[in-house]
Amino acid sequence: MTETLEKPARPVREHRWSKRLVLWAGVLILANVLADMAVSSPMMVLPQLLDHFDTDQAAWLNASALLAGALWSPLLAKSADVLGKRRMLVATLLISCAGAVVCLVAPNVWIFLAGRFLQGAAFAAVFLSVALARQISTPRVAMALIGLVTSGSSVVGIVEPYVMQPVIDVFGYRSVFFVAAVLAAVAALCVRTVVPQAPVRGGGRVDLKGALLLGGGIGSVLAYVSLGRDQGWLSGLMLTLLAGGVVALTCWVLLALRTEEPVVDLRGLTRPILLTLLALVLAAGSFRSMLQLTSIVAQVPAGLGLGYGLGEGEAVAVLLSAPNVGIVVGGTLAGWLAGRYGPALPLLGGIAVGAAATFAMLAGVSVLPLAIACGTVAGMAAGAIGASGYNLATGLEAPERQGTVAGLVSVVLALGSVVFNFAGGEILKATEIAGVFADGAPVSTATGVQVYAGMTGVLFLLAAVPALMLARGRTPIPSPS
């Protein structure tokens, strides 16, 4: 009897859906809404920003938060495992709030970019909420919760342009950052007061040097890929970024191999985790490229006679919002299926659905109903792949390392998105038609668009290979405990 009393109390985790769990899910979705807004909302006021700061550096204003997010991720992911998931999620939201305030009052473009660097910390909210969801509920419930958390914020993408545009028209570009700051503060307060602390926390320390080398290396390489086309691939700044990134990543690998507690344990990356990351980098590149192609085709009027184009009236708004509907449906469904059959099958299913939508889009580039259907299905694939990737990777790691692996998934998703979006953009650039524009932007030939869609389809097929290997070797889902 004495022995029983001396055992530490076992943390209580939600083993079924309840009002309390629904409330937690709502708060975590709110935190992820901030991540979406931090990256996307400023693009709604990009012309006003360029005019206010008297600059033509649109690429830096566009990519700054995403690149900062890649830099922040390794540090915040490892810190979450050591210091606690909820604590780091609250800290992340407060850092992003401070960044939005800096952007709000920035007197020049350099201080504005510093604010965007802080605001980019919101990128970590997604994987921190995933790690937290894993530990406040049992495995079967957590998978469905992760599906909701990773995809639910896309609802905002459906209504945001309609809600924010009137506000921007009245109050100007600063309204975007005011809303982001308020939302971040509210989300931080809600997480701190409503969501419980994760019961599992790892020991050891945070490898600050390794985190800075890894984050800085990834951020520099992504900056080169993202900005090189606008800034000049062989310009001094771009070459410095690339060289600095390669050196930083090389130093990080050497450090990680001899450090007892590295920010990412390269020696501990098992075959299933490596297969998961490979599938995700290819699949992320596939669905992001597909969504980018849909947005481009949506803004080209069919009247130009190019053999493709759908941009007329409300068609643009419908085509741009359809993928967000699909993301919510796909992510939620994938989480529910993962709780019953494991996350490997929904990952493979999402990739198969994405491939089907991509190849159908070869005809949908000139047929509006088919394009809307393809955009929606591509969104479903994106939601399913994201939710299943987080579920699969975190399920393969011990609880005290789930924050780190969730952060790694986020970085891999960003890496695939940036690299293959760039590749698609280069295809379109190589097939531009001289002197022909849509909404002021150059347009490409029908052949260029078809090659772009074909590339995306091939990437989906390549992603299916490691996903199929994972599905064939899947393990049973743990029963609730």
pLDDT by residue (tens digit) across 343-368? 999 999 999 999 999 999 999 988 88
pLDDT above 80 (res 449) = yes
Same domain? For 279 and 172 the reply is no
pLDDT by residue (tens digit) across 306-317? 889 887 656 677
Tokens standing for residue 180: 């982001």
Structural domains of the chain, count? 3
Burial class of residue 54 (count of CB atoms within 10 Å of its CB; 0-12, 13-18, 19+) = exposed
Within-domain flag for 480: no
Within-domain flag for 481: no
Same domain? For 382 and 284 the reply is yes
Query: What CATH number does residue 414 fall under?
Result: 1.20.1250.20
DSSP 398: -
Mean predicted lDDT score pLDDT of the chain: 88
Burial class of residue 357 (count of CB atoms within 10 Å of its CB; 0-12, 13-18, 19+) = buried
Same domain? For 353 and 399 the reply is yes
- Per the CB < 8 A criterion, the answer to whether 349 and 468 are in contact is no
Tokens standing for residue 108: 């020049």
Reported as a pLDDT band with limits 50, 70 and 90, residue 97 is very high
pLDDT above 80 (res 375) = yes
User: Is the pTM above the cut of 0.85?
Assistant: yes
Same domain? For 252 and 351 the reply is no
Domain that holds residue 459: 264-475
In sequence order, which residues have a C-beta less than 8 Å from that of residue 294 and are 6 or more positions away? Answer: 319, 320, 323, 361, 371, 374, 375, 378
Span 154-162, average pLDDT:
76
Return the closest-CA partner of residue 339 out of 478, 230, 246: 478
